[in-house]
Structure 1
Amino acid sequence: MNKIVSHNIRTIREMKNLTRDFVAGELEMTYSGYGKIERGEIDITISKISRLADIFGISISDLLFFDVSYFFNNDAEEKIDDQLRIGSNSDIKTLRISRSRLMDFQDKKLKNRV
């Protein structure tokens, strides 16, 4: 589980375009200490997970059970846009990323699996 959470943390940080230095500073940690979290070399406390979720602007469950396909589902985005045009009162937050950045992200992910 620790490796999955560490991978999620790194992925979300990169998607949010945040540097390791920035996140380490927000956590009041050293750069190298934060790097150990992203590499899964140390156990992360619930309080740090909670703080990371706050820094990233997501829920703890989104951090723990992150699914990149959720953020890039074009059909879901169109449905959300339709709901907003209709005047729905829902508080839906989407992460919009250019297609070229998505392709770079997916290529990088595939290379890491090999």
Structure 2
Amino acid sequence: MKYAVYENIRKIRELKNFTREHMAAELSMSASGYGKIERGDVDLTVSKLIEISKVLEVSIEFIFKFDVSIFFSEIK
């Protein structure tokens, strides 16, 4: 579950066509520091998760429950 959050942040960012540099600038941090968040190299604080959700314009719950397959599922 822990790594799913980091992966979900990356996937949501990519779907919104935001670069890591854009995210880092919005969060007032370095691009390498932001990259560490997406890779799960650093523990994510609640306050940083709130900031990320605001930049991505989604709720924290959405980040936790995000499933990219809903965008690519076949309609029957």
TM-score (norm 2): 0.87
Moved beyond 6 Å, runs of 4+:
none
Which residue in the other structure is 2:42 paired with?
Answer: 42
CA contact (8 A) 1:50 1:60 kept: yes
1:28 and 1:2 map into 2 onto residues whose CA distance is 24
Which residue in the other structure is 2:69 paired with?
Answer: 69
Alignment RMSD, CA only? Answer: 1.4
Which residue in the other structure is 2:54 paired with?
Answer: 54
Quickly say closer, same or farther: Cα 1:71–1:59, change in 2 above 3 A.
farther
Q: Does 1:4 align with 2:7?
A: no
Decide which structure has the larger Cα Rg and report it. 1
One-letter amino acid of the counterpart of residue 16, structure 1: K
1:60 and 1:48 map into 2 onto residues whose CA distance is 11
| 1:42-78 deviation per Cα after TM superposition (whole angstroms, max 9, x unaligned) | 0001111111111111111001121113344575xxx
Unmatched 5+ stretches in structure 2: none
2:58 and 2:72 map into 1 onto residues whose CA distance is 16
One-letter amino acid of the counterpart of residue 30, structure 1: S
TM-score (norm 1): 0.60
Counting aligned pairs with the same residue, the percent is 49
Which residue in the other structure is 2:33 paired with?
Answer: 33
1:71 and 1:40 map into 2 onto residues whose CA distance is 24
Unmatched 5+ stretches in structure 1: 76-114
Aligned residues: 75
Of structures 1 and 2, the one with the larger relative CO (CA 8 A, separation 6+) is 2
